[in-house]
Amino acid sequence: MIRFLSDYMEGAHPEVMRRLQQTNLEQTPGYGADPYTAEAVERIREACGCPGARVQFLVGGTQTNATVIDGLLARHEGVLAAESGHINVHEAGAIEASGHKVLTLPEHEGKVWAEEVERYIENFYADATYPHMVAPGMLYISHPTEYGTLYTRRELEALSRLCRERHIPLYIDGARLGYGLAAAESDLSLPDIARLADLFYIGGTKVGALFGEALVIPRPDLLPHLMPLVKQHGALLAKGRLLGVQFATLFTDDLYLRMGRHAVEQALRIREAFRQVGIAPAVASPTNQQFFRLPNVLIDRLASEVAFDYWGPRGEHESTIRLVTSWATRPEDVDRLVELLTTA
Amino acid sequence: MIRFLSDYMEGAHPEVMRRLQQTNLEQTPGYGADPYTAEAVERIREACGCPGARVQFLVGGTQTNATVIDGLLARHEGVLAAESGHINVHEAGAIEASGHKVLTLPEHEGKVWAEEVERYIENFYADATYPHMVAPGMLYISHPTEYGTLYTRRELEALSRLCRERHIPLYIDGARLGYGLAAAESDLSLPDIARLADLFYIGGTKVGALFGEALVIPRPDLLPHLMPLVKQHGALLAKGRLLGVQFATLFTDDLYLRMGRHAVEQALRIREAFRQVGIAPAVASPTNQQFFRLPNVLIDRLASEVAFDYWGPRGEHESTIRLVTSWATRPEDVDRLVELLTTA
Amino acid sequence: MIRFLSDYMEGAHPEVMRRLQQTNLEQTPGYGADPYTAEAVERIREACGCPGARVQFLVGGTQTNATVIDGLLARHEGVLAAESGHINVHEAGAIEASGHKVLTLPEHEGKVWAEEVERYIENFYADATYPHMVAPGMLYISHPTEYGTLYTRRELEALSRLCRERHIPLYIDGARLGYGLAAAESDLSLPDIARLADLFYIGGTKVGALFGEALVIPRPDLLPHLMPLVKQHGALLAKGRLLGVQFATLFTDDLYLRMGRHAVEQALRIREAFRQVGIAPAVASPTNQQFFRLPNVLIDRLASEVAFDYWGPRGEHESTIRLVTSWATRPEDVDRLVELLTTA
Amino acid sequence: MIRFLSDYMEGAHPEVMRRLQQTNLEQTPGYGADPYTAEAVERIREACGCPGARVQFLVGGTQTNATVIDGLLARHEGVLAAESGHINVHEAGAIEASGHKVLTLPEHEGKVWAEEVERYIENFYADATYPHMVAPGMLYISHPTEYGTLYTRRELEALSRLCRERHIPLYIDGARLGYGLAAAESDLSLPDIARLADLFYIGGTKVGALFGEALVIPRPDLLPHLMPLVKQHGALLAKGRLLGVQFATLFTDDLYLRMGRHAVEQALRIREAFRQVGIAPAVASPTNQQFFRLPNVLIDRLASEVAFDYWGPRGEHESTIRLVTSWATRPEDVDRLVELLTTA
């Protein structure tokens, strides 16, 4: 069986494991007050071109989103997000559990459009009953999106400009950021993101770490009192250095980007193989998630040897499937998939 | 100036005021433990044909909705509601502030369709990632809806049956219930509602009271510990007897229904007058809220003498307006409106 | 039966009722955008010597406390209060329900001491683990306290100074403020309170209104976005003018103070009568609540003709009782109590 | 420098690391649906003598406490805990952030007494105003406590009996459970705890794991819908198998208990050394945390070579310090401490 189910099916990149092993019996202070965390912070600041940024490591994506959004919003505010946004669909109501409404915007292959964000805000304040409504207090986007698509620099600049004009922070969920940065078509670097977003997180769980996300706040006074907030959300790891060791490794010798490139390369090989048998991708994703609409007959044939997910319900005659690569994808598994497809 | 802006622009029905005045200097225990409240509870039980119902008086609609929904839902559950539902649009995030997501359904002139509710629930449990999503834990509808429309008995029976099959409570927001019960086209009585809903409230604020809503729970064990919940939501009136006196009066000599009929009668006169000048109602509302799409020229003409609200943004050439009648609407004001329209 | 059970057993002062009756059929905009509310705001600003204050009317005390505290605190902060504070004991967890811890201080006849507040804050920041603890974000006091006692000007100045040095707002729960302002021993006027507190509310429910509290914020930018916050807490009265009419009346011709003086006068007559039969007050309360520790025999004798509350559990031989007067207390009822006592 | 600062200063027990390394590149389903997690669940059920228990792994203690308590309590309920309880003092208000009050009880070296719990509950329901107060909905205790002390079997039985009579769940925070089970004086085994508690967690973070806690629910219907609750709290680890691998290892060949015994043995050697120089322990702790009150002169002398924490503020002449051992404590470090003490 070859598996393209998700990008969190293995443990960590071997180099990460090696460093964890190597440092295992050292004694360090807890909660991130250790030298490995300090090193990781420095490396991330450097990679982002943000020497003054606050970098805080958390364990997982949902808890990072919930902590950041809870910390940023005033009580009467909600968070704008695409209808398909992870916080709106797949976090079990974590945002609402801390008291805030997710205000949904139409999604375009997972992305929001600046003009629609602007219209939402304008309509809100134009409505005479707006004090009875939830004020848009920040914008959440994911990059890559839940569909693997990417914002262009131009699109992100438009969102950033709008958010700053409207004084609402722009927050980027970068659970798969590594796979976005590595995409050939992407014109956005890490320093671009640090310049355009007000906060973002660099995903580790899906990109080479055992677990962990690096929250970056270029202007730290945007979210003071971060430490008690993280603790209150149950997101403060006692052995904080585990996060430090991992991220210091990921940001050494370009490992983070190298892993990203590997996954994207394998994903594009898969896309190309489907194209060759006449199946265009269902979504124009340049990253590690690929979606295809196939006849059920073909799906069933593949399924005997390849593991993947349905995307949405199975149709009567054809259905959409998702295949995901990662830093750990073996090229020979992709070879076999290509073979299966082209000889099918 | 004649006013059709809303149904909460006056104080209370004169008979309600008379009773408040009459009992003003009596001393009674607080928080609803007084004989007037006991009397009002009995009268409402009788009107609903529910001798065992729990009846609890609260001050306003938003706080009633927030208290009920917070009390019914488990932490991992959300409330299903039409996209246009009051709790989704006009309660400033009160539901989310107590930790719960509003799960939206398409609206059809303010109503939800049983088959769409069912599909939502089925899709939810069919999705393999459902433990990452917010479970539908109850259904909220308003009757009349925010557009003045009414569920038919058949529609309400379908919703009720579905909710009982799925073990999710059906809750009806009856802020304007009196105007719904009084509509000629309505085939739903108060006992019908008490039989089909798991909880509902009978609105007083918009139907003759100074303020107040009567929450009715036909099977009280559905929401035990109601008292501390009401207190926790800041919704427990110290001088609870004020609510008792008012509702006892509203449910004496059919006052509640008589007021409803008066308002609906005046609303239909307005609808008829618009029809006569060739303007069909924008929404098929048989109750006290009427919506019309008019040329702006006509709107501006009316506006010099008549107060009403725009419904949505003003258009370039024509716009939608809302006119609302109430127990307090003076027939002579409607006469004047009719005159204005027909001579315009 | 003569009753000294509480100060919320009657309706409203007759003059308040008269004004409500008189304005009952007028049509005004909802939610406080009416001329009566504007008038009440002006009168209260004047009475407080605060022409720039924000004045917002709410329905009850618990909802006022919950709304204010929720609005002021950041997520990682809690509210300092006496262990006996209303928010800590008798609000069914309303503060915690909006996510905040009540941080308790020792109480001294219901009051907190500035030096103990200071020590709490100092110890907090001295503790190395403070980011794991809840930060003191504001101070809540009640005046009069739950025991009827009053802060002196000197005490309130000390608390005010401390709070400003520490940048935590001082909030005064004035549910019975009228009875405090009227006490002969009090050296605090309404303008003093407006100068020393950062926010406070002037209680109406217990002092002459049917219901209602007037929240005063001398420097309004301390709590911006108040309107959606009030709505979110279910505390925005649709017919807001009911609050306006009542408070405009209470603050006309010194009615609020006159009622206060009446209640205190009657309370002191009761205190004096107890003294004459050799029973000193259990608490040195100069306001409308009086506490006495009596032999159960005497309590039982009184109870046949006088209604009052136990304060704490009934003891084996003696117990503490509470007697409360109000604007509505009839001097002849006090005469009879005095007679009962002195002839007992 | 030799360090007795805490029990979360190293990584994981080497055997745990070895297993993580060994399984690192395997592909398994996420969120705990993997064979390692299944194996760990079985081993823990067996160790607890509870074949039907639900076992759920979470990342850390605060998030476990917050998730469990949030899931168990109804909205109007709070959690009873010792004033010194971790949830009351050191979790940054996580319990209140999910809407619930911590109802404090006196602490006796960190423990609560059954008779005081009972009195609290009785007083609560005896108070006429109890619907205005927060109902005691569950009991939280820690074992070992924050002071390293242990409940005896007799004490735990009394608490368990009381909680079952009163229908409030008893929840045990076992962050350091391994060190409690290993204490020679303890008469409580893991099956005893599983029999007497309604829920408890077996701490991994402080006892040999990189991170992780195993929540055990002997009668799983006490907390249904656990999965979405865990997700909502941001506590669902994507690579759930990391927890499975660790706990399967900890519960193989008695490793968990063996580590516990080692730590306690070293702690008792420290206690004995202090005794020999005439310093009795400040708290009668039979586990891995030891507290001593020493002259500051001695503290300063030790501090040049030994790392430890102050417990409370430094006094003028003497202060209390805490020394903590763990599975990783090197006997030679204890030797050196003993030497330092006895030659001091």
B258-274 tens-digit pLDDT: 999 999 999 999 999 99
> In the structure encoding, which two tokens stand for residue D317, read together?
């002449």
Task: Give the C-alpha separation, A337 to A321, whole Å.
Answer: 14
**Which chains are within 8 Å of C by 3+ CB pairs?**
A, B, D
Chain B contact present for A99, CB below 8 A: yes
Compute CA distances C28 → C32, C38, D266, whole Å: 9, 12, 78
Contact D229 B98 (CB under 8 A): no
Contact C232 B97 (CB under 8 A): yes
Task: Give the C-alpha separation, D249 to C217, whole Å.
Answer: 60
pLDDT of residue B128: 84
Compute CA distances D211 → A33, A245, B302, C110, D16, whole Å: 17, 15, 71, 45, 11
For C44-103, write each residue's pLDDT tens digit.
Answer: 999 999 999 999 999 999 999 999 999 999 999 999 999 999 999 999 999 999 999 999
C111 in Cβ contact with C128 (< 8 Å): no
Average the pLDDT over each of B86-100, B303-317, D218-232 and give the range with the smallest value.
Answer: B303-317
D288 in Cβ contact with D325 (< 8 Å): yes
Go through A52-87 and write b for each residue having 16 or more CB atoms within 10 A of its CB, e for each that does not: ebbbbbbbbbbbbbbbbbbbbbebbbbbbbbebbbb
Long-range CB contacts for residues B338-343, cutoff 8 Å, separation at least 24: B338/B269, B338/B270, B338/B273, B340/B301, B340/B302, B340/B305, B340/B306, B341/B273, B341/B274, B341/B276, B341/B277, B341/B302, B342/B273, B342/B276, B342/B277
Q: Which of residues 45-64 of D touch A (CB under 8 A)?
A: 59-64
> In the structure encoding, which two tokens stand for residue A129, read together?
């009953």
How does DSSP classify residue C131?
G
How does DSSP classify residue B111?
B
- Burial of B304 per CB tally in 10 Å (0-12, 13-18, 19+): exposed
pLDDT of residue C344: 62
- In Å, how far is D204's CA from the nearest CA of chain A? 11
How does DSSP classify residue B129?
T
Contact C26 B14 (CB under 8 A): no
Name the band, by pLDDT with cuts 50, 70 and 90, for residue A344.
Answer: low
pLDDT of residue B72: 98
- CB contacts of D124 in chain B (<8 Å) are none
3-state secondary structure of D72: helix
Chain A contact present for B78, CB below 8 A: yes
3-state secondary structure of D152: coil
Chain D contact present for A210, CB below 8 A: yes
β-strands B306-307, B2-3: how paired?
Answer: parallel
Task: Give the C-alpha separation, A121 to A135, whole Å.
Answer: 8
Average pLDDT score over residue span C128-137: 94
In single-letter form, the type of residue at position A215 comes to: L
Compute CA distances B88 → B74, B100, B107, whole Å: 19, 11, 12
Chain B contact present for C33, CB below 8 A: no
β-bridge partners, B151: none
A311 in Cβ contact with A321 (< 8 Å): yes
Task: Give the C-alpha separation, D94 to C250, whole Å.
Answer: 43
Task: Give the C-alpha separation, B80 to B73, whole Å.
Answer: 11
Residue in C closest to A232 by C-alpha: C76
Selection from C153, C246, C163 nearest residue C198 by Cα:
C163
Residue in D closest to B238 by C-alpha: D132
Among B74, B134, B229, select the one facing D76 at the smallest CB separation. Answer: B229
pLDDT of residue A128: 84
Chain B contact present for A74, CB below 8 A: no
Task: Give the C-alpha separation, A318 to A324, whole Å.
Answer: 20
For A127-169, write each residue's pLDDT tens digit.
Answer: 888 899 999 999 999 999 999 999 999 999 999 999 999 999 9
Average pLDDT score over residue span B75-92: 97
Name the band, by pLDDT with cuts 50, 70 and 90, for residue B344.
Answer: low
pLDDT of residue D343: 83
Go through D122-135 and write b for each residue having 16 or more CB atoms within 10 A of its CB, e for each that does not: eeeeebeebbbbbb
B88 in Cβ contact with B102 (< 8 Å): yes
How does DSSP classify residue D113?
P
Residue in C closest to D70 by C-alpha: C97
Selection from B255, B289, B290, B237 nearest residue B57 by Cα:
B237
- Burial of A126 per CB tally in 10 Å (0-12, 13-18, 19+): exposed
Contact A90 B132 (CB under 8 A): yes
Checking if the pLDDT of C128 tops 90, the result is no
> In the structure encoding, which two tokens stand for residue B260, read together?
């409803």
- Residues in Cβ contact with A41 at an 8 Å cutoff, skipping those fewer than 6 apart: A55, A244
Task: Give the C-alpha separation, B3 to B9, whole Å.
Answer: 9
- Residues in Cβ contact with C329 at an 8 Å cutoff, skipping those fewer than 6 apart: C4, C262, C263, C266
Task: Give the C-alpha separation, A252 to D136, whole Å.
Answer: 52
Compute CA distances A250 → A200, A289, D130, D236, whole Å: 17, 21, 56, 23
For C283-310, write each residue's pLDDT tens digit.
Answer: 999 999 999 999 999 999 999 999 999 9
Contact C76 D99 (CB under 8 A): no
Contact B97 C21 (CB under 8 A): no
- As a whole number, the mean pLDDT across chain C is 97
Task: Give the C-alpha separation, B286 to B231, whole Å.
Answer: 37
> In the structure encoding, which two tokens stand for residue D193, read together?
């705890």
In single-letter form, the type of residue at position B157 comes to: E
Selection from D288, D41, D37, D283 nearest residue D179 by Cα:
D288
- CB contacts of A205 in chain D (<8 Å) are 238-239
- CB contacts of A233 in chain D (<8 Å) are 63, 94, 97, 234
- In Å, how far is B235's CA from the nearest CA of chain D? 12
Compute CA distances D207 → A24, C156, D212, whole Å: 14, 50, 10
- CB contacts of B134 in chain D (<8 Å) are 228
> In the structure encoding, which two tokens stand for residue A160, read together?
């950033």
Task: Give the C-alpha separation, C284 to C289, whole Å.
Answer: 10
> In the structure encoding, which two tokens stand for residue D199, read together?
């829920």
pLDDT of residue D344: 62
**Residue pairs spanning B and D at CB distance below 8 A:** 43
**Which chains are within 8 Å of B by 3+ CB pairs?**
A, C, D
- In Å, how far is D261's CA from the nearest CA of chain C? 28
> In the structure encoding, which two tokens stand for residue D192, read together?
């005893």
Among B131, B132, B232, select the one facing D75 at the smallest CB separation. Answer: B232
Chain A contact present for C14, CB below 8 A: no
pLDDT of residue B343: 83
Query: What does residue D320 show for φ and ψ, rounded to 5 degrees?
Result: -105, 135
**Which chains are within 8 Å of A by 3+ CB pairs?**
B, C, D
pLDDT over 90, % of chain C: 96
What is the torsional sign of CA A245, A251, A254, A260?
A: positive
β-strands D54-58, D213-217: how paired?
Answer: antiparallel
Q: Which of residues 140-179 of B touch C (CB under 8 A)?
A: none
Compute CA distances C88 → A13, B63, C92, D7, D80, whole Å: 51, 22, 8, 36, 15
Q: Find the helix or strand (DSSP H, E) in which A43 lies.
A: helix A35-48
Give me the tens of pLDDT residue by residue for chain D, a chain 344 residues long: 899 999 999 999 999 999 999 999 999 999 999 999 999 999 999 999 999 999 999 999 999 999 999 999 999 999 999 999 999 999 999 999 999 999 999 999 999 999 999 999 999 999 888 899 999 999 999 999 999 999 999 999 999 999 999 999 999 999 999 999 999 999 999 999 999 999 999 999 999 999 999 999 999 999 999 999 999 999 999 999 999 999 999 999 999 999 999 999 999 999 999 999 999 999 999 999 999 999 999 999 999 999 999 998 889 999 999 999 999 999 999 999 999 998 86
DSSP secondary structure, D318-332, as one string: EEEEEEE--TT--HH
